[in-house]
Amino acid sequence: QVQLVESGGGLVQAGGSLRLSCAAAGRTFSSDTMAWFRQAPGKEREFVAAITRSGAMTYYEDSVKGRFTISRDNAKNTSYLQMNDLKPDDTAVYYCAARPPGNTRTLITTNPSGYDYWGQGTQVTVSS
């Protein structure tokens, strides 16, 4: 069974930090682009960050740029999202996603439909 499992979410005060992990099982994701999305109540799923298999290319949504850092450890089949200086607007369920490689597709996309594998999410709540 192919599965992505997020962990590390929780409750934190504004200005605090959290580190999310995405552990993969049932398949290696070492060649995939890995990404994080988030979804707040009543809102559409929003792209947060993505990283290519080499780690040479990253892309961030403007509101998190400079505060969040995406990384990966292919030996552990795991990706991470380090979140610093958290704000109440960051409150959401955070989802891990994977995009397999292909010659006819871009390495990174912000469109959720471009990702084939998803975790079930981890809640991040930032209090003011």
pLDDT at residue number 118 = 97
Q: Is the pLDDT of residue 113 over 90?
A: yes
Backbone angles phi, psi at 32, to 5 degrees: -90, 150
pLDDT at residue number 125 = 98
Tell me the C-alpha to C-alpha distance, in Å, between residue 49 and each of 1, 27, 92. 25, 22, 14
Residues 80-94, mean pLDDT to the nearest whole number: 98
Beta-carbon contacts of residue 50 (< 8 Å; ≥ 6 apart):
33, 34, 35, 36, 58, 59, 70, 99, 108, 109, 110
- Put the strands of the sheet holding 3-7 in their side by side order: 3-7, 18-25, 78-83, 68-73
pLDDT at residue number 79 = 96
* Residues 12, 25: Cα–Cα separation, whole Å: 28
Q: In percent, how much of the chain has pLDDT > 70?
A: 100
Using 50, 70 and 90 to split pLDDT, how confident is the model at 56?
A: confident
Tell me the C-alpha to C-alpha distance, in Å, between residue 38 and each of 44, 50, 74, 124. 9, 12, 23, 9
8 A C-beta contact, residue 97 and residue 120 = no
